[in-house]
């Protein structure tokens, strides 16, 4: 894993020094080396920059930018099947001078052009400059594991792994994109393709960008879409066959992600996802797998004991570390540097801590993210389906009275129904949903279980009442009815929460300590396979991850695994009301908000007042506002 940056400047106001600054701000992503290539053409300037974290082929020969004939590349990620592709290319007459996957991409481009991407199994974001064609091509992997931002304004095109790179260019115009800010307050993260800045965007997963330098314009192309997988006919298969085939795919994906010239470990929480990855890998090798877990002294947030039991049972070389409150709290001031786009998921704190622990022993760590989105692990799926079933049976004449009764219901009941602590805030939305006709479970998932705050609540906070931007939450109708309502929700979560929350968190936390994270469950072959499995093999009654459970129980006793699902978090709201109250009050003061005027001060004051009173309904919104304020102080002041 590395950091990449680059530019196209038709104003010709860039320089090798500017390119170097745009690249070196990403040094945490690649501390092992750096490289720059600057082209000063008559009509434009073009630059490619790279920060290297050495994983495969540690020699200087594999340094970047890498050049082959008229092709130049900066690459971030891994192509796990590069040796098979290399062997195929060698039979076609290609010869290689390194053992790196980067060189394979260059030769694959010469052989197959953009179509090469269909052959790749991996995670990647890269830019390839074809000097002969005068075109720049930028690719992002199918799941969006690797980040890719770009900026295009006033004759200046910039790209990078992280937004902080753009701040190093004097031509970059910093202007808050109001629709993105609205998404941050509504969901806790900003959905692709939007970015916090105007004229900036995230390249969507499964897409590539082709920039024609002669025409001074670019086009976006889709080469893979999870919706296509869910559109295919369901597989007619027995449960036993499905379990066997899924296990084979998972094992293969895990083994591919062990390819490395540096030490590799696994994050182990003791839950089904990480246990599956650990069990499949440990069962296929004699050497003890290195596994890592962090624990907390607060029992409500501690899974370390479960992870240790699983590790002992599987026989891994396990390391656990109990973090102090002080260590966790010290992460908060650093969040705005590594999350250089405002980010509201507080579990980035423990994710950073476990990354620090792993980095002491390994350079690469496998993470079991996306199990919930692939195998239907979240409680919101049965909740949305159940709520939809109940309101669908309700006669039209009874909907308004039922809505009124719901508004008067106790908060405790609503917490149970919605699975979310913001019960009073959810109450009004649940009541409104009762009145709507033609509602789908995916609508309920979005409006009740994914949006933390409604359109009305967010609009009241912002001084500029921007309309809610469209997103993939609105795209469920692109799937046919026979895709199934559960699959519709899984596909939407794959395109939204997984990409722009979960994967952002893991990337930024790992890269903050120069640790490469790999995601075996996001192998596109697994995604395409599970999308076609019958829904009952994912959610069987109220049992989530049904097929994954059956696989894990082959290696770990059911009695050791079955327990209530525990979130990966820290008691951040307790800290902010107590030890860190002074810190929160400093950044959430009226003076701090007045510096930019983006929010309705009266509404912000109300949020603060209710939060410090102990009203849990305002926990998330308070945190989102605080994260924005910390970010603004770092990048805008």
Average pLDDT over residues 246-256: 97
The string of pLDDT tens digits covering residues 468-477 is 787 878 776 7
Answer yes or no: 200 catalytic. Answer: no
DSSP symbols for 295-337: EESSGGG--HHHHHHHHHHHT-EEEEEEEPHHHHHTTGGGHHH
Residues 6+ apart with CB under 8 A from 321: 293, 294, 295, 353, 357
For the CA atoms of 57, 59, 65, 69, the dihedral, rounded to the nearest 10 degrees, stands at -90
How do residues 315-343 score in pLDDT, each as one tens digit? 999 999 998 888 888 999 999 999 999 99
Give the pLDDT band of residue 398 (cuts 50, 70, 90): low
Alpha carbon distance 167, 336 (integer Å)? 14
Of all residues in the chain, what percent carry a pLDDT higher than 70?
A: 91
Instruction: Tell me how far apart the alpha carbons of residues 23 and 168 are, in angstroms, rounded to a whole number.
Output: 9
- Per residue in 590-635, pLDDT (tens digit) is 999 998 999 999 999 999 999 999 998 899 999 999 999 999 999 9
pLDDT at 571: 86
Residue position matching structure tokens 């945490």 = 28
Q: What is the pLDDT of residue 253?
A: 97
pLDDT range class, residue 543, cuts 50, 70, 90: very high
What's phi and psi for 62, nearest 5 deg? -95, 10
The rounded distance, in Å, linking the Cα atoms of 608 and 615 is 10
Tell me the C-alpha distance between 316 and 268, whole Å.
10
* Dihedral in degrees, nearest 10, Cα atoms 363, 364, 365, 367: 140
Q: What is the 3-state secondary structure (H, E, C) of 101-160?
A: HHHHHHHHHHHHHHHHHHHCCEEEEEEEEECCCCEEEEEECCCCCCCCEEEEECCEEEEE
Selected catalytic residue, list 2, 200, 254, 323: 2
In this prediction, residue 421 carries a pLDDT of: 46
Domains contained in the chain, CATH given: 3-224 (3.60.20.10), 228-376+494-561 (3.40.50.620), 380-493 (no CATH), 572-635 (no CATH)
- Out of 243-247, 382-386, 488-492, pick the least confident: 382-386
What mean pLDDT is predicted for residues 572-588? 91
**Rounded average pLDDT over 46-74:** 93
Give pLDDT, residue 548. Answer: 98
- The Cα 210–Cα 99 span in angstroms is 28
* E strand or H helix at 510: helix 503-511
Q: How far apart are CA 622 and CA 576, in angstroms?
A: 10
pLDDT score of 212 more than 90: yes
Look-up: residue for tokens 């603004």?
A: 632
Q: Which residues contact 258 (CB under 8 A, 6 or more apart)?
A: 264, 281, 366
Who wins on pLDDT, 437 or 513? 513
Q: What is the mean pLDDT of residues 484-502?
A: 94
Distances (CA, A) of 97 to 31, 53, 56, 103: 24, 20, 14, 8
Q: What is the pTM of this model?
A: 0.93
pLDDT of residue 437: 63
Q: How far apart are the first and last CA of the chain?
A: 31
């Amino acid at each position: 894993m590395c950091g990449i940056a680059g530019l196209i400047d038709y104003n010709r106001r860039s320089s090798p020094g500017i390119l170097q600054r745009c690249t070196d701000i990403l040094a945490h992503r690649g501390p092992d080396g750096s490289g720059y290539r600057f082209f000063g053409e008559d009509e434009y300037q073009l630059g490619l920059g790279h920060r290297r974290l050495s994983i495969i082929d540690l020699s200087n020969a594999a340094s970047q930018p890498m050049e082959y004939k008229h092709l130049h590349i900066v690459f971030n990620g891994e192509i796990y099947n590069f040796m098979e592709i290399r062997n195929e290319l060698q039979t076609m007459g290609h010869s290689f001078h390194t053992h790196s996957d980067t060189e394979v991409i260059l030769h694959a481009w010469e052989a197959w052009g953009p179509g090469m991407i269909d052959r790749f199994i991996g995670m990647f974001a890269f830019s390839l400059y074809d000097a002969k064609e005068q075109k720049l091509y930028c690719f992002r992997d199918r799941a969006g594991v690797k980040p890719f931002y770009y900026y295009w304004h006033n004759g200046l095109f910039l790209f990078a792994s992280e937004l902080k790179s753009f701040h190093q260019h004097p031509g970059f115009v910093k202007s808050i994109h109001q629709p993105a800010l609205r998404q941050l307050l509504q969901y806790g993260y900003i959905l692709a393709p939007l970015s916090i800045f105007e004229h900036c965007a995230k390249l969507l997963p499964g897409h590539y960008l082709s920039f024609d330098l002669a025409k001074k314009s670019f086009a976006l192309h889709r080469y893979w879409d999870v919706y296509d997988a869910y559109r295919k006919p369901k597989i007619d298969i027995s449960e036993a066959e499905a379990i066997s085939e899924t296990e084979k795919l998972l094992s293969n994906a895990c083994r591919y992600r062990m390819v490395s010239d540096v030490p590799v470990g696994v994050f182990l929480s003791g839950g089904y996802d990480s246990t599956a990855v650990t069990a499949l890998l440990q069962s296929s090798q004699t050497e003890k797998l290195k596994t890592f877990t962090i624990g907390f002294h607060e029992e409500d947030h501690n899974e370390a004991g479960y992870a240790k039991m699983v590790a002992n049972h599987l026989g891994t070389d396990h390391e656990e570390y109990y973090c102090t409150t002080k260590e966790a709290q010290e992460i908060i001031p650093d969040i705005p540097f590594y999350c250089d786009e405002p980010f509201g998921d507080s579990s980035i704190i423990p994710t950073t801590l476990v990354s620090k622990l792993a980095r002491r022993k390994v350079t690469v760590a496998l993470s079991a993210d996306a199990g919930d989105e692939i195998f239907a692990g979240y409680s919101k799926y049965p909740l949305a389906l159940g709520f939809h079933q109940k309101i669908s049976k309700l006669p039209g004449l009874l909907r308004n009275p039922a809505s009124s009764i719901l508004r008067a219901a106790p908060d405790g009941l609503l917490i149970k129904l919605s699975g979310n602590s913001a019960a009073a805030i959810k109450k009004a939305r649940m009541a409104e949903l009762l009145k709507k006709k033609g509602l789908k479970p995916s609508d309920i998932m979005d409006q009740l279980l994914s949006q933390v705050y409604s359109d009305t609540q967010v609009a009241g906070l912002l001084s500029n009442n921007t309309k809610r931007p469209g997103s993939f939450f609105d795209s469920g109708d692109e799937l046919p009815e026979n895709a199934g309502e559960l699959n519709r929700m899984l596909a939407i979560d794959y395109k939204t929460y997984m990409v722009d929350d979960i994967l952002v968190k893991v990337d930024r936390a790992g890269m903050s300590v120069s640790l490469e994270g790999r995601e075996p469950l996001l192998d596109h072959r697994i995604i395409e396979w599970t999308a076609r499995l019958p829904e009952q093999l994912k959610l069987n009654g109220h049992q989530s991850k049904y097929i994954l459970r059956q696989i894990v129980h082959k290696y770990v006793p059911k009695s050791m695994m079955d327990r209530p699902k525990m979130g990966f978090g820290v008691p951040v709201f307790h800290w902010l009301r107590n030890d860190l109250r002074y810190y929160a009050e400093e950044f959430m003061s009226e003076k701090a908000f007045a510096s930019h005027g983006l929010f309705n001060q009266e509404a912000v004051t109300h949020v603060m007042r209710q939060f410090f009173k102990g009203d849990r309904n305002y926990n998330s919104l308070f945190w989102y506002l605080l994260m924005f304020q910390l970010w603004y102080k770092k990048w805008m002041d």
